Amino acid sequence: ATAFPVGGKYPWSVGSVSIGGAAKTEVMDMTITIDEAIEPMYTLNGSVFPSRTKRTGFRTVAIEGTVKFDDQVEFQQFISDAEQALIVTMVGATVSSGFTEDFTIRAPLLRYSEFKPSLAGPGQVEVGFTARGIYSVTSATALQLTLVNTLAGY
């Protein structure tokens, strides 16, 4: 998989998660991984750079995270193999001039592949989940990332 350098992160001041059109305040963490399934192909052309790229499979969107197990709503979605929309919204801190950055992640069809609640001892019950973004023919996307910066120029 291709790796990109990681620099300074955006300082998001507010974040929210919506699954199936309902706010989910019990999401503790979430990781979204996009695998393009592309590898470089080199030829003997006197260059250190690849001359072609080769697709080794289909693009995949993997979503993993942890939620508090307060009710069985998401567990029932897993049992029924349902597909539902995931929307993650993050808003940056408003600076003195009133400008912000807004970042929205949309997976039009999220399907859980693993959702195993377990009681491991005292404390709150947490559930690790694994899901994937399914390609939606309606939006023609499996994942949509939108970054809006309200500053007109630099």
pLDDT of residue 141: 94
* Single pTM value for the model: 0.79
Average pLDDT over residues 92-116: 86
Model pLDDT for residues 107-151, shown as the tens digit of each residue? 999 999 998 877 777 878 888 999 999 999 999 999 999 998 877
Domain boundaries, the chain: 12-31+62-149
pLDDT at 2 over 70: no
- Confirm if 115 and 81 have CB atoms less than 8 A apart: no
Length reported for the chain? 154
Q: How far apart are CA 112 and CA 128, in angstroms?
A: 11
Model pLDDT for residues 54-84, shown as the tens digit of each residue? 999 998 999 999 988 888 888 888 889 889 9
